[in-house]
Amino acid sequence: MACLSCSPSRMRLPLLQTHIPISNFTCLTVFPFQSLAISLPKYKVKSVHIPSCSVSSISSTNLEEEEEEDDDPTAELVYLDPEIDPESISEWELDFCSRPILDIRGKKLWELLVCDDSLSLQYTKYFPNNLINSITLKDALLSLSNDLCLPLPDKIRFFRSQMQTIITRACNELAIKPVPSKRCLSLVLWLEDRYETVYTRHPGFQKGAKPLLALDNPFPMELPENLYGEKWAFVQLPVSAVREEVSNLETRLVFGSSLDLDLLGIEIEDNTLIPGLAVASSRAKPLAAWMNGLEVCSIEADVDKASLILSVGISTRYIYATYKKNPVSTSEAEAWEAAKKACGGLHFLAIQNDLNSDDCVGFWLLLDLPPPPV
């Protein structure tokens, strides 16, 4: 691994809140960051009729034309890549929420959206708002499985805390592990794409309608003691080194989580420098093991409060570290956030025994995306 070299600063401990400024981090502000182009992979999809609660009906003539089917904003999708092994899809991503679309009763239309992380699986189904419950969701998941001859997954990730009860009940009935997590990145990108290409073109679209279930952004809490490190530093790695660390997650059984940049449609040159946070601890392995069970989503530098915010799971935010606020440390934090923004939100968390070590005990590749428009 390329060395994560940078002057260290102390991790905030329960009784210690000192900070050693990272004087050479400010050089990040002059590094040439190439812009990222994020686009969804393009797949052929199969369209079917929308239920009777739709605002408009679908012309049978148009349904005979495959290209027109794909462009029909009122059509549902039932698709599985024929080249994929159905048994290999063991985790799904799911959203069950209202859309900015009114049905024939003048009520908001709800939609179930299911995919896997590569979008080899794409499934959508519309529902009237008086059928939103765990039984409806369970039956829809069974229908999806039967229609595509696809085994039910081991896990289903979802990112809306308001739907946790319904989704958890449906999953438990089907012996599926529900995972509340904002690491539903393919799903979020797909939602953004559908908003522009499907929802806004639907005859029942309501421009300016606010999302019914907005994402939570609660105040950060104190970090549990078992997650404390001893030192931390803002660091950077070229994409080639980041890819090497990701490959180590399997070859060296390192704790952590990766992102498939190619499948997410993220195009970035190998010499681009990716910002990250390195955390050192004499108990790095148990620290990484604890962190591994948290569905780590993103890290944010809160310049106003001179702290680092760790987002995990679906709506949990921790004060991960604090530092002494001064012009130098503020400039460093601002530069780190600017570097992350220049990389389209891509960043990482590395846990090491020592900040000068060439090896990581834990490595999480993270992508900080804005919430979907619906």
Task: Tell me: pLDDT of 319 over 90.
Answer: yes
3-state secondary structure of 296: strand
Look at 266 and 52; give whichever has higher pLDDT: 266
Task: Tell me: pLDDT of 58 over 80.
Answer: no
Chain-wide mean pLDDT for the chain? 82
Mean pLDDT of 311-327: 93
> Angle, nearest 10°, between helix axes 134-147 and 164-173?
50
211 within some domain: no
Q: Please tell me whether residues 260 and 298 are part of one structural domain.
A: yes
pLDDT of residue 19: 32
Give the CA dihedral 264, 268, 271, 275, nearest 10 degrees.
Answer: -60
Number of neighbours of residue 203 by Cβ within 10 angstroms = 11
Express each pLDDT in 99-108 by its tens digit. 999 999 999 9
CATH number at residue 57: 3.30.420
Q: Which of 140, 174, 201 is the last residue of a domain?
A: 201
Express each pLDDT in 240-283 by its tens digit. 899 889 888 878 778 999 998 887 778 888 788 999 999 999 99
pLDDT of residue 351: 96
Q: Please tell me whether residues 302 and 352 are part of one structural domain.
A: yes
The domain in which residue 173 lies consists of 47-201
pLDDT of residue 212: 65
Express each pLDDT in 60-86 by its tens digit. 344 344 444 557 889 999 999 999 999
Express each pLDDT in 214-233 by its tens digit. 666 778 999 999 999 999 99
Task: Tell me: pLDDT of 3 over 70.
Answer: no
Q: Which of 169, 201, 233 is the last residue of a domain?
A: 201
- Phi-psi domain of 233 (left: phi exceeds 0; alpha: psi -120 through 50; beta: other): beta
Residue 209 amino acid letter: A
Decide: 274 and 343 in contact? Cβ < 8 Å: yes
Q: Please tell me whether residues 191 and 62 are part of one structural domain.
A: yes
pLDDT of residue 50: 29
Look at 161 and 262; give whichever has higher pLDDT: 161
Mean pLDDT of 186-192: 94
With a pLDDT cut of 70, the percent of the chain lying above it is 80
301 within some domain: yes
Give the C-alpha distances (Å, rounded to integers) separating 202 from 5, 108, 213, 260, 371: 52, 13, 20, 32, 21
Strand order across the beta sheet in which 221-222 lies: 221-222, 316-322, 307-312, 296-302
pLDDT of residue 213: 61
CA distance 248 to 264: 20
Look at 239 and 3; give whichever has higher pLDDT: 239
209 within some domain: no
Look at 271 and 177; give whichever has higher pLDDT: 177
Number of domains in the chain: 2
332 within some domain: yes
Decide: 125 and 136 in contact? Cβ < 8 Å: no
Beta bridge partners of 349: 277, 364
